[in-house]
A and B are shown apart, each in its own frame.
Chain A
Amino acid sequence: MRTSPSFPRDLVHALIAITLAAAPPVFAGTIIDQRNRDITVESAEKIVTLGAATTETVIALGLGDRIVAADASSKGITGAESKSTLGYHRQVAAEGIIATGTDLVLATEAAGPPAALQQIESAGIPLVVLEQATTADATLKRIELLGTLLDAQEKSNTIVAAIRSDLDKAAKLRPDTPMRVLFLYARGGGAGQMAGDDTIADAMITLAGGTNAFAGTKGYTALTPEAVLTAKPDVVLLTTGGLASMGGETGVWSTPGLAQLPRESVRLITMDDHLLLGFGPRTGLAALELAQKLQPSSPESGGPDEQ
C-alpha cells in the first residue's frame, strides 16, 4: 500500500484483510484516494470504471465481469468493448451512472464534471479518485491501491512484480548511447504532433532505454519540418492507428520534414495504441517490447529498404 505511511492504518487494514479473507471478495474498509479523502467501500459487485488504464487494471485483476459500465476511452480494452457506454469521462451523466446500479465508481483526476461526481457521492455511492499516472511508479502505486481496494492483492502483487521484472529487462537492454526517438501522434490529415516532455510517450521512451529526440518542450507540439530535422531522431515511433491515419509508411515518409530525414539511418517503429500509451498493467510489457524494437539489430526495425 502506498497511501500515507501509517503503521496503525496498515495494521487495521491487515487485520480487516485477514478477517475478510475467508469471505467472498468484498473490500478492505477504508482507503485514502487522490483527493486525500477517506473512502469507505463496502461492496464492489458492480463497478464503474472511468479511464482506460483503470478499466484495464480491473480486468487484469480478474474482476472484469464485475464492471457494469466504463467510459468511452475504454472501448479499446479487450473485454470492455461492449461495456463502454458512459461517454467521455470528462462529461459523465450522474443519473446515468447511478442507474447502472453501481456500488463503486473508480475515476481518475480527469473525470468530470465536478457537479456530476458530487451528485454520485451524495447518492451514497463511493467514488474513488485515482492518480492519473504519468510515471511507472505512479502506475504501480495505482495497481497496488486497486488490489487492496478490491481485495485482489495476490493478483496485484503478481502484476506489479511482472511489470518490475519487465522494466528491469528493458533497462538491461539499454545501449550505451541511447536511441533518439521521436514519437508522432497522428490523427490523420497531416496534422501530426510531436511528443515533448511530461507526456506518456516520453515516459515510455525513457523506460525503454531511449531518449526523447524532442525533449525541451512540455506536452505535444504540432509537427514542423524544422523541428523534425533539428531533433535528429534515430527512430520515428508511431502507434499502429497513427500510422494508418497517415497513410502507412509511404504516407509517413512523404510528410514534409520526415521526407528529409536520412532514410538509411532512421527507422520507423510502430506499436499498438493502447499498449504503448495505456500506462496500465501492461506498462512493463510495453516498455520491454519497445526496448527490444529499439535494439539496432532487431528484426522489427522496418525501414524503407525493407519494403
Chain B
Amino acid sequence: MSVVSSPTPSSPIRSLRRYTRILASLFCLLAIAVGTGIGALGISPSAQLSILAESIGLDSFATYHDPIQATVLKAIRLPRVVLGLLVGACLSVAGVLMQALFRNPLASPQLIGVSGGAALAAGVVIALLPGEVTSGTYGAWVLPAGAFLGALAVSLITLRVGHRGGTPDVVSLLLAGVAINALTGAGLGLLVFVADDAQLRSLTFWSLGSLGSATWTVVGTLAVATSLLLFFAWRNRLSFDLLLLGHEDAHHLGVPVATLQRRMVLVTAVAVGSAVAFTGIIGFVGLVVPHLCRLLVGPTHQHLIPLSALVGGSLLIFADTGARTIVAPAELPLGVLTTLLGAPFFLVLLARARKFA
C-alpha cells in the first residue's frame, strides 16, 4: 500500500526528509565501500575492482595476481559487509517496532527478552553440552540454533505472561520482560558458576558480539529473517503511527491492536533472534539508531523505517570495520564498540533534547 501523496507538512520538514533520504543512501554506499575496501589484509583498490569484475563475469579485467586476495574479498570481507548491513538494519527496525509497541523511545528488543534468552541458550550450549556435540559436520550450527531457539522461547514466554485478560498489555509486557530478563540473568549466573575457565571465556566473547561467523550461508539465512521483518514493518507502517496514540485510540481507528502487538513481538523475536544467534549480542543499535533517525525525519514510520534500516546497516558496517582493523590481526568485540560509540552519542542526544525542551 503506497501512499500517493501523504499530507505534506511544511516545506522545511519535507526537504529535510528528502535530503536525509539521499544522504542516508550515500552514507550506506560509503559504508559498503569502506567495509569492503579496508581490512587486515591490504588489497589495493585496483585489485579489488578486478576481483569484483571477474566475479560478475568480466574476465578480461581480472588483472589481480593473488588468489588469496580474491578469497579474502569474496569469502570473508564481502559476506561480512553484507551481514553487517543486514544485522544493522534488522536491529534498528526491530528497535523502531519495540518503540512503537511500548510507545516509548527508550525501548529496544532487549525488553522482550530476546537477548537474554539467546544468551542463556548460548550459555547452555557452551557450558553444558559435551564438546562432541559442537564438533562434527553440523557442529557449527548447534550454537546458533540453540541461541535462536532460546531467543524465541523466552520472547514467547514474555508475550504469554505479559497479558491482561487475554490481550497483550504494554505495562504487563514490560514487567514480564523485566522479570524474565532477571531470570535469564540468574540462569546465566548459574552456568557461569559451573563453567570452567575456557567455557567462561567462550561465553563472554560470544556475548560481546562479533560478525566473525559471516559466511554466505549465514548471510542467506539472515537475509530471509531481515526481509521478513522489513516486509512486516513496511506493511504495517501506518498502524504503528496509530499505535502511538494509545491502544484504545488505535482500536477506535480500526487497528487490530492485540493481534498487531502479538505479531510485533513474534516477528521481532524471530528476526532479532536470528541475528543474535549468529552474531552474539550487539548493543545500542536498536536503541540509538531509531532515536537518531527520529530526530532527523520525525516519528512517522513511513520515513522512519527505511531511514533506520539504512543508517543502522551503515553504522554497523563502520563499527565492524573498526573492530577488525584497530587491533589487527586481532579483533575487538563488535558489541563493545557499538556500546562505546553508542552510549556517549546517546548522552549527547539526550542533553541536546533537554536543552530544547
Contacts and interface: CB of A to CB of B under 8 A. Distances in A.
Interface of A: 35, 69, 72, 85-88, 90-100, 109-110, 112-116, 118-119, 122-125, 185, 219-220, 222
B33 interface: no
Contacts of A115: 140, 212-215, 218
B190 interface: no
Contacts of A99: 39-42, 72, 328-329
Interface string B206-247: 000010111100100000000000000000000000000000
Contacts of B212: 91, 93-94, 113, 115-116
Interface stretch (B146-154, B191-199, B268-276, B302-310): B191-199
A30 to B, nearest CB: 22
Given A100-B329, A222-B193, A95 B140 contact: no
A86 B332 CA distance: 11
Contacts of A90: 198, 201-202, 205
Most chain A CB within 10 A, of B196, B212, B328, is at B212
A87 B327 contact: yes
B215 A93 contact: no
20 contacts: A69-B329, A86-B329, A86-B330, A87-B329, A90-B205, A91-B333, A93-B329, A95-B77, A96-B328, A98-B68, A98-B76, A109-B135, A110-B198, A112-B202, A114-B139, A115-B214, A115-B215, A118-B215, A123-B71, A125-B68
B76 A119 contact: yes
Interface of B: 39-42, 67-68, 71-72, 75-77, 131, 135, 139-140, 193, 196-198, 201-202, 205, 210, 212-215, 218, 324, 327-331, 333
Nearest to A94: B76
Contacts of A118: 215
Contacts of A97: 329
Contacts of B77: 95
Given A98-B40, A124-B67, 18 more contacts: A85-B330, A86-B329, A87-B330, A90-B198, A90-B201, A95-B77, A95-B329, A98-B72, A99-B42, A115-B140, A115-B214, A119-B71, A122-B75, A123-B68, A123-B72, A220-B196, A220-B197, A222-B193
Contacts of A119: 71, 75-76, 215
Given A98-B68, A124-B71, A220-B196, A93 B135 contact: no
A18 to B, nearest CB: 32
A22 B71 CA distance: 35
B72 A219 contact: no
Contacts of A93: 40, 212, 324, 328-331
Contacts of A96: 40, 324, 328-331
B117 to A, nearest CB: 21
A17 to B, nearest CB: 29
A132 to B, nearest CB: 9
Nearest to B194: A219
Contacts of B198: 90, 110
A147 to B, nearest CB: 26
B355 to A, nearest CB: 41
B2 to A, nearest CB: 39
Nearest to A90: B202
A114 B75 CA distance: 14
A264 to B, nearest CB: 33
A127 B77 CA distance: 20
Contacts of A125: 68
Given A91-B331, A110-B198, A123 B75 contact: yes
Contacts of B39: 95, 99
Nearest to B218: A115
Contacts of A85: 327, 329-330
Contacts of A87: 327, 329-331
* Residue among A35, A69, A100, A116 facing the most chain B CB atoms (10 A cut-off): A116
Contacts of B218: 115
Contacts of B329: 69, 85-87, 93, 95-97, 99-100
